[in-house]
Amino acid sequence: QFFRAYDPRLGHVLQMMEGAGLLKRWEGRFGLLGSQGGGFLPSSIVGSAAPPGTMGRQGETSPGEGQPKATDYGDFCGFVSHHRPDSVPTYVALPSNADLCPKICQMADIEAVTDTRVIKAEMVEGGGWSLDLESSNYDYLRDEMFDALVLTTHDPSLASKTVQSIAQAEAQASAGLSDADLAAGAIQARLENL
């Protein structure tokens, strides 16, 4: 697992985290295994070798077979064709990606709640978060309001419901603002206060 920052603002944050020893640049080989014989196609030629519009294209059929055609252009999300280590570095966390959030919390003197299941996370009016937790280890947190939330989950329904909560809260908040307020950065100010 790795990550990149195509937005320069996030790129600067990642560089600071690299300087603090939380991240390192991953210099591994990127490429694709060919569908015919398993040959390795390095990222340096993948982007230029694929015909336009074919990266990850599905639905083509092989002549006379009626089965989806296998191609060498299955570049999931463009991870290989967009690999540019000189301008957009690829990072991994130290010693592993699982350690990144706890280390950030430790550096900021933030309590990290682990070993519990979040059933529901909702934005509350006025800012902040309310959490519904499954574990009894954190009963003291049941009625707490949280200033911020970093959600790492393998539960797609929790992630989806949380994103919906954010969208609903933003829609409700922006409904009361004029276009001039929005243009002046009212949303950015709210995000900075979270």
Q: State the pLDDT confidence band at 172, using cuts at 50, 70 and 90.
A: confident
The pLDDT tens digits of the residues spanning 124-153 come to 877 888 888 887 777 787 788 888 887 778
Q: Region 35-43: what's the mean pLDDT?
A: 76
Is the pTM of the predicted complex or chain greater than 0.75? no
The pLDDT tens digits of the residues spanning 43-101 come to 777 655 544 444 444 444 444 444 444 444 566 666 676 677 777 888 999 998 888 88
In whole angstroms, give the CA distance from residue 120 to residue 131.
Answer: 6
3-state secondary structure of 187: helix
Whether 19 shows a pLDDT value over 90: the answer reads: yes
- What DSSP letter does each residue of 115-137 carry, written as one string? SS-EEEEEE-TTS-EEEEE--ST
- What integer pLDDT is reported at residue 51 of this predicted model? 46
